[in-house]
Amino acid sequence: MYRLLLALGLLVALPARAEEGMWTYDAFPSEAVKKAYGFTPTQAWLDSVRLASVRLAGGCSASFVSPNGLVMTNHHCIRSCVEDLSSSQKDLLATGFSAAEAKDELRCPKVEANQLVEMTDVTARMNAATKGLSGAAFNTALKAEMSKAEAECATGPQVRCDVVTLYNGGKYHLYKYRRFQDVRLVFAPEFSMASFGGDPDNFNFPRFGFDVAFVRVWENDQPARSPNFLPWAKQSVKEGELVFVSGHPGGTERKSTVAELEFQRDVALPYTLLNLAELRGMLREFTQGSPERLRVTRATLRSVENGLKALRGRHQALAAPALLAQKRKEEAELRTQVMARAKLKSLTVGAWEEIAQALELYRPMLPEYRMKEAGDAFQSELFTLARQLVRSAEELPKPNAERLREYTEAQLPSLRQQLLREAPISLELEVATLTYGLTRMRETLGADDPFVRTVLGRAAPADMARALVVGTKLHDVKVRKALLEGGKAAVDASEDPMVVLARKVDAEARAVRKRYEDSVEAVLKRNGERLAQARLAVYGTSGYPDATFTLRLNYGAVKGWEENARTVAPFTTFGGAWERNTGNEPFKLPASWLAAQGKVPPETPLDMATTNDIIGGNSGSPMVNKDGQVVGLVFDGNLPSLGGRYAYVPATNRAVAVNGAGILAGLEHVYGARRVLEELRATQAR
């Protein structure tokens, strides 16, 4: 982590750079781009790139790259789909997949794609609904009005609507999406090549991964028409060239208060890091049991390793004195501006203090909340399904505005897809992860805790987990469908042990959720909104809002950086991948790549680094040139980019992408994926 800490140490001394910013499409700084690079993105250009951008439910980005519904994203973004479509006899994660014809494209059971088609400012509406309110009353009224606005907007299952919080509550926008739930796998490389270099290379550069996949959205059992798509560039991008990234950064905390950042550093991140570290150890041990265990676990293990490394990087960033020193300086400057204006002083009175007090309340509550409501005690896909069924039975009969947010009318299509998906569930892995969760629950809350006694009784965690997994029938989608359609009567009458457990713990889980929402979330939201309004009054909307897994556009250049007195070049090549091959995991090239040696010029670019400001959630984002043509596919960042959750450091913060020319070369010479290749090349003539 030395490089990350060194980069953050430079934070205070470095001036702000134009490349910083995750901009909403309705406030993109086109003039700044013109000043820096001599190119002005027009409104037509912005609309075209926006409508070609896609969000994948679950936390990734993607894009339309042909008029026939073809969507490009990362392999790791649809890895769960590949795993769902695999079996012990046909392991698509190991072999890769390429559909020779449309009929060969395989439906992904759990994937939903969203295309942003409309954005409406609803700030006045939300503010009117919460005027004069605070605490729990504020939170309840805000959520009710959000649900009402979303229900009015979502006119059918093909439409998804979300009220989006921007500027930490300073603004609210209603985002309307076109929803696609029939998403089919078209092409995926081998898992070993998509994640070449494994955990050692993760968040590092140079990189040699081919983290590429293509899916297609279908409508009415036909490939969907997608008139807004990104054509493929004819030439590879060059060093120093202007590039844009359109995607859905998951979350940043660049405008959070110092108290919130300190809470992350001291409480939230250490808790999660410990959990992930122990879970990684358990999963690694589990995979040693058999080849089948490895097959069903490797994707989960990879995700856990990725999360652990990412959160460790965030923690190191917050532990660096320079970052919080800069944040304290910025907060003091805002306070000075606020105190000098009577109206803003009145608006924000007590706001910083109330946020700090709420976090102090949350400190002892966090383990209880994480265990009971957030699911840390019940790390089981089967239990998650049981809880969704139990809560659906309770929530769906209520008026829409009174439901838990994840059960409102706007969320029902996604909820039904999750509950009724045809996807395999490894019962052996379920026993292992549920045993781990129940064990952690007992360790965290204590053996004498009433909730622990309610869950375990006199049973050992391993025995309880085994009995639940062996006894439940929820792995059968027909059983889940009957319970969902049977409603409360069917769920209450069910003797399925997983449903019984979900019913047994639901009251206490709801209770801790309510305590959190009323005493912590409500205070953070209301006071965050007050501070956001003050910040907007002082600094205006010339800046960008924190990331919220909503569509953003940023710009930068293809560029390396200086590290430990050496220059890190911005490109890697196919030749470099062959040189990096050791024959042993995680640096073992698959047979397809070894066979392609000599077919691809070794200097062909494979991966590249750019100055684009990205964060988790940008995985799968298209990288385009000034002509709106695909030149790359974002799949990672370097180590200094992990601190980008809190601040952007232009000297070292880099996005990492698969090069567009390298994607075409791999499809043609490594995989012989002629059908996808021809579909992409046809767009070059546009």
**263 and 227 in a common domain:** no
Among 539, 574, 606, where does a domain finish? 539
Q: Please give the structure tokens belonging to residue 302.
A: 């990879």
- pLDDT (mean) for 443-471: 98
* Average model confidence (pLDDT) across the chain: 95
| Choice between 552 and 543, residue whose per-residue pLDDT is larger | 552
- pLDDT (mean) for 83-95: 96
**589 and 614 in a common domain:** yes
Q: Kindly calculate the radius of gyration of the chain based on its CA atoms and give it in whole angstroms.
A: 25
pTM, two decimal places: 0.95
- pLDDT (mean) for 324-337: 97
Alpha carbon 84 to its chain centroid, in Å, reads 19
Q: Which pLDDT score, from 0 to 100, does residue 564 have?
A: 86
Q: Which residues contact 18 (CB under 8 A, 6 or more apart)?
A: 32, 33, 35, 36, 555
16 pLDDT band, cuts 50/70/90, is very low
- pLDDT (mean) for 346-372: 98
In-domain check, residue 443? yes
Q: Please give the structure tokens belonging to residue 131.
A: 């005027």
Overall residue count recorded for the chain in this entry: 686
In-domain check, residue 168? no
Residue with token string 């929530």: 395
**187 and 53 in a common domain:** yes
In-domain check, residue 175? no
pLDDT greater than 80 at residue 542: no
- pLDDT (mean) for 589-615: 97
Q: Which pLDDT score, from 0 to 100, does residue 322 have?
A: 94
In-domain check, residue 155? no
**562 and 474 in a common domain:** no
Up-side HSE of residue 245: CA atoms within 13 Å toward CB? 37
Q: Which residues contact 253 (CB under 8 A, 6 or more apart)?
A: 260, 261, 264, 546, 645, 646
What is the domain-level CATH number for residue 553?
2.40.10.120
Total domains in the fold of the chain: 2
pLDDT greater than 80 at residue 2: no
Residue with token string 């009415």: 220
Q: Which pLDDT score, from 0 to 100, does residue 466 have?
A: 98
**590 and 481 in a common domain:** no
In-domain check, residue 635? yes
Q: Which pLDDT score, from 0 to 100, does residue 8 have?
A: 45
208: nearest Cα among 609, 596, 591: 609
**242 and 108 in a common domain:** yes
- pLDDT (mean) for 245-271: 98
386: nearest Cα among 396, 397, 398, 375: 375
**430 and 283 in a common domain:** yes
Q: Which pLDDT score, from 0 to 100, does residue 541 have?
A: 77
**90 and 9 in a common domain:** yes
Give the tens place of pLDDT for each residue, 275-289.
999 999 999 999 999
What is the extent of the structural domain holding 59? Answer: 2-112+181-254+545-683
Q: Which pLDDT score, from 0 to 100, does residue 58 have?
A: 87
Q: Which pLDDT score, from 0 to 100, does residue 14 have?
A: 38
In-domain check, residue 172? no
Q: Which pLDDT score, from 0 to 100, does residue 80 have?
A: 95
- pLDDT (mean) for 504-531: 98
**618 and 519 in a common domain:** no
pLDDT greater than 90 at residue 366: yes
Range of lowest pLDDT (4-13, 167-176, 443-452)? 4-13
Which segments within 509-624 are labelled E, that is strand?
A: 552-557, 561-563, 566-568, 571-573, 605-610, 622-624
In-domain check, residue 138? no
In-domain check, residue 382? yes
**603 and 480 in a common domain:** no
Q: Which pLDDT score, from 0 to 100, does residue 686 have?
A: 63
DSSP-assigned beta bridge partners for residue 675: none
Alpha carbon 27 to its chain centroid, in Å, reads 23
**217 and 265 in a common domain:** no
Q: How far apart are CA 229 and CA 622, in angstroms?
A: 11
**287 and 242 in a common domain:** no
Q: Which residues contact 60 (CB under 8 A, 6 or more apart)?
A: 73, 74, 77, 248, 617, 619, 620
Answer yes or no: are the C-beta atoms of 675 and 101 closer than 8 Å: yes
Among 486, 519, 539, where does a domain finish? 539
Q: Which pLDDT score, from 0 to 100, does residue 565 have?
A: 86
- pLDDT (mean) for 396-422: 96
Phi, psi (deg, nearest 5) at residue 71: -125, 130
Q: What percentage of the chain carries pLDDT values higher than 70?
A: 97
190: nearest Cα among 108, 77, 97: 97
Give the tens place of pLDDT for each residue, 546-595.
999 999 999 999 999 998 889 999 999 999 999 999 999 999 999 999 99
Among 539, 568, 600, where does a domain finish? 539
